[in-house]
Amino acid sequence: MKKFWMVLLLVASLGMFAACAKEEEEVVDEGPDSIDISVVGLVGEGTLESPYMLEINVGETIEKHVLIDGEFDSIEYLFGKVEDGKFVVDETMKNINFNQRSTDSYLSVVGSVIGESMLRIKGKDMSSSAYVSVKSITRDGTTPGVKDYSDSLKVLAIGNSFSEDAMTYLGEIAADYGITNVTFAYLYIGGSSLETHYNTFTNGTSSYRYEKNFDNEWENKGNKSLLIGLLDEQWDIITMQQASPLTGVEESYQPFLDDLVDYVNENKLTDTTFMWHQTWAYAQNSTHSGFPTYDRDQMTMYEAIMNVNQNLILNDETFRQIIPAGTAIQNVRSSVVGDNMNRDGYHLNTYGRYVTALMWFKTITGYSIDDIEYKPSTMTDQDLLIAKEAVNNAYMQMFEVTVSQYQ
């Protein structure tokens, strides 16, 4: 029996596209459209008449939660098109690839070729369909391009001190890899929640401390509004997060998250990718006032954060990817380093900041971190190996701890 993750990956890349069928093309008998495979967070019903709708840019990665009800002996996944209500196989229409992050609980696909296709997923007594459209991005409103950060990368975080922690060493890591044209920035309100962000743009206040990094130099740009931050650059990536005490409290997210996304969409300058910053659980000895929400237990908090990520964020069509910083930190805690990643029980220390920045770089770019040499002076060579191991494992398993080999 083939692994279910292959099915998941396929489900996300479907496309309904009417075209003339050639005589030599194979027509597939559809069979029943019993929707036992579902992709959460996409519009559509999964039928041939109402397929799931997936739009993706060339070079962009999208991840979605996939559910499969039941087991089957074999699964077919076929690219093609639809003509006269029938699916016609045409593998030359394949326009997406599946990357290594895909598992049996979520899929991860990358846009590869501009165009439209249908991906048909078939098994015994079941099938599912989705429409996949791959296009080129528009960076300046007129010029098409590809999601490629090897020459330039611009990232804006809408958050708080946890965003500052995550981005502290991002410039040095990008430079070490060889990306020199980078701009990183964060809009910071201490302890800000999604509700705080909503109130800020609703009231039009300049409540954010705007920190911007260019050429590996951070500069405080003063107090700015969210709008000023959005209009300052053509951001490739915009990240969002919840306040740390509320990260595992699902009912705290809405309607503020949707309102924030709507506001950013209305005011951003270009075709920006939205990513979610998965934050970390507190140190076990933390005295943070929000820790009792999780019975003052680190793993209880971690699992609550993971549940919200999977139940809400992964199923939200807005967020293309999750940056699993919380899992990377927890992976390090399973090593000889132990629970020594924080400076005050909840903010990260130098090592924790480095691990999180490495996780951001790996997730945003998809590039290998194996040859990264930069590390803060307080880190040892073994610290660097543990950090890379933790990040690579978190990249592959976003929602569960992978125990370190460094004990």
pLDDT in tens, 377-387: 999 999 999 99
State whether residue 47 is helix, strand or coil.
coil
pLDDT in tens, 154-198: 999 999 999 999 999 999 999 999 998 999 999 999 999 999 999
User: Running DSSP on this structure, what letter comes out for residue 269?
Assistant: S
Please count the other Cβ atoms lying within 10 Å of the Cβ belonging to residue 307.
Answer: 13
Q: Which among 113, 136, 159 is the end of a domain?
A: 136
Question: What local confidence, expressed as pLDDT, does residue 10 receive?
Answer: 38
Cα separation, 256 vs 334, in Å, equals 34
Mark whether 97 and 74 lie in a shared domain: yes
**From CA 362, how far away is CA 388, in angstroms rounded?**
10
Same domain, 124 and 92: yes
- Residue percentage of the chain with pLDDT more than 90: 62
Would 405 be classed as within a structural domain?
no
CB 196: neighbour CB atoms within 10 A? Answer: 15
What are 33's two structure tokens? 């459209």
pLDDT at 56 over 70: yes
Residue 169 shares a structural domain with residue 295: yes
Ranges of H-type helices in 281-324: 298-308
Query: Is residue 143 in a domain?
Result: no
For 322-348, the DSSP string reads EE-HHHHHHHHHTSTT-S--BSSSSSB
Average pLDDT over residues 346-351: 98
Same domain, 160 and 222: yes
Closest by CA to 278, choosing from 301, 246, 238, 306, is 306
**CATH number of the domain that residue 11 is part of:** 2.60.40.1080
> How far is CA 342 from each of CA 203, 285, 306, 378, rounded to the nearest angstrom?
34, 10, 20, 15
Whether residues 128 and 154 share a domain: the answer is no
**Domain contains 144:** no
> Which strands, in side-by-side order, build the sheet including 106-111?
37-40, 61-68, 106-111, 96-98
φ, ψ of residue 238 in degrees (nearest 5): -125, 125
Place of tokens 């991005």: 137
Tally of domains in the chain? 2
Q: How far apart are CA 404 and CA 301, in angstroms?
A: 20
The whole-number pLDDT of residue 7 equals 36
CB-count burial class (<10 Å; 0-12, 13-18, 19+) for 150: exposed
Residue type, 362: K
What pLDDT is attached to residue 349? Answer: 98
Average pLDDT, the chain: 87
SS3 146: coil
DSSP string, 90-120: -GGG--EEE-TT--SSEEEEEE-SSEEEEEE
Sign of CA dihedral 146, 152, 158, 159: positive
The continuous run of DSSP H or E covering 385 comes out as helix 381-396
In this structure, are 278 and 312 located in the same domain? yes
Is the pLDDT assigned to residue 18 strictly greater than 80? no
Give dist(CA 198, CA 255) in Å, integer: 9
Look at residue 88 in the predicted model and tell me its pLDDT.
87
Residue 309 to residues 78, 107, 222, 270, 400, Cα–Cα distance (Å): 30, 14, 32, 26, 12
The range of the structural domain enclosing residue 389 comes to 149-396
Per the domain annotation, does 238 fall within a domain? yes
pLDDT band at 32 (very low <50, low <70, confident <90, very high): very low
Is the residue at 254 inside a domain?
Answer: yes
Mean of the pLDDT values across residues 50-55?
85
The CATH number of the domain where 257 resides is what?
3.40.50.1110
Residue 360 has pLDDT above 80, yes or no: yes
Q: Any idea which residue has 């039009």 for tokens? A: 204
- Looking at residue 141, what is its pLDDT? 57
The answer to whether residue 142 is domain-embedded is: no
Q: How confident is the model at residue 97 (pLDDT cuts 50, 70, 90)?
A: confident
- The model's pTM is 0.86
Q: What tens digit of pLDDT does each residue of 271-306 get?
A: 899 999 999 999 999 999 999 999 999 999 999 999
Given a contact cutoff of 8 angstroms between Cβ atoms, the answer to whether 281 and 348 are in contact is no
Please indicate, yes or no, whether residues 232 and 262 belong to a single structural domain of this protein: yes
Q: What is the mean pLDDT of residues 362-367?
A: 94
Answer yes or no: is pLDDT of 2 > 50: no
Kindly compute the dihedral angle of the four CA atoms of residues 177, 180, 183, 185, in this order, to the nearest 10 degrees.
Answer: 40
Q: Are residues 94 and 17 in the same domain?
A: yes
In a domain? residue 260: yes
